[in-house]
Amino acid sequence: MSAENDRDLRIQTEVREELEWTPDVDAAGIGVAVDHGTVALSGELANYGQRVAAVKAALRVRGVRAVLDDMTVHPRADRPITETDIAKEVERALRGAVNVPATVKVEIEGHTVRLLGDVDWAFQREAAEKTVHYLRGVYEVDNQIALGVRPSAADTDRRIQRALARNAQLAADSIVVEVVGSTVILTGTVNSFAAKRQAERAAWGSPHVAEVDNRLEIRAG
């Protein structure tokens, strides 16, 4: 058996263990397959929140380079949940979230929640999506929230590189930052998907960034 196959088997075992370790995931209903560090998750889950949590759990495992989400949501409900029910739940949750501005709008199509509008910061866009993850009747979230126009700055790349260097989870000298207009391009290598995500978040911290093109590669673990 090749070293690559051994690595995939190790990843498969550890992903299954991580799913079982995650309290808000029903691991028994999830299938795990691994090919060259890419994990494919399949099966049926009771809600969209479990689906999101399962993907995050797999991405936490050392050596995972990407996750393919082939899972579906089939909730076990005592009564049917209508689009009106979902809309009321979503509106109530978003309006009660202090980090989601009123500019966020919602469309409901079946059990899919489509988030629209624009916000000033990427964390507000993420907050809106997280707010509706666990709501009753939500099977899918389509986040189309846009960022407002961002002014460019000549020192954006330098300031992002300094932010990366301050982060204890990152080896900043292995990450290259390039800025084209208001788009940041990250290249280089990191040790894990968590580090890749951390670098992207650091880039989003700049007030001059409208898009992050994260091309960082994960070293084989």
In tens, the pLDDT along 167-201 reads 888 888 899 999 998 899 999 999 888 899 999 99
Give 105-146 as a DSSP string.
EEEEETTEEEEESEESSHHHHHHHHHHHTTSTT--EEEE--E
DSSP single-letter state for residue 148:
P
CA–CA dist 66, 58 (Å, integer) = 9
Residue-averaged pLDDT of the chain: 91
**Which option is the CATH number for 83-147: 3.30.70.420, 1.20.1440.230, 3.30.1340.30, 3.60.150.10?**
3.30.1340.30
Residue 70, number of CB atoms within 10 A of its CB: 11
Residue with token string 């629209």 = 116
In tens, the pLDDT along 83-107 reads 999 999 999 999 999 999 999 999 9
Q: Compare 98 and 150 and report the one with higher pLDDT.
A: 98
List the beta bridge partners of residue 184. Answer: 179, 212
In tens, the pLDDT along 122-143 reads 999 999 999 998 898 899 999 9
Residue percentage of the chain with pLDDT more than 70: 97
The yes/no answer on whether domain 3-73 falls in CATH 3.30.1340.30 is yes
The three-state secondary structure class of 75 is: coil
- Residue 34 parent element (H or E): strand 30-35
Rg of the Cα atoms in the chain: 19
The yes/no answer on whether domain 156-218 falls in CATH 3.30.420 is no
Confidence of residue 221 (pLDDT cuts 50, 70, 90): low
Confidence of residue 150 (pLDDT cuts 50, 70, 90): confident
* End-to-end C-alpha distance for the chain, whole angstroms: 17
Confidence of residue 151 (pLDDT cuts 50, 70, 90): confident
Domain locations in the chain?
3-73, 83-147, 156-218
CB-CB contact of 103 with 115 (8 Å): no
CB-CB contact of 145 with 93 (8 Å): no
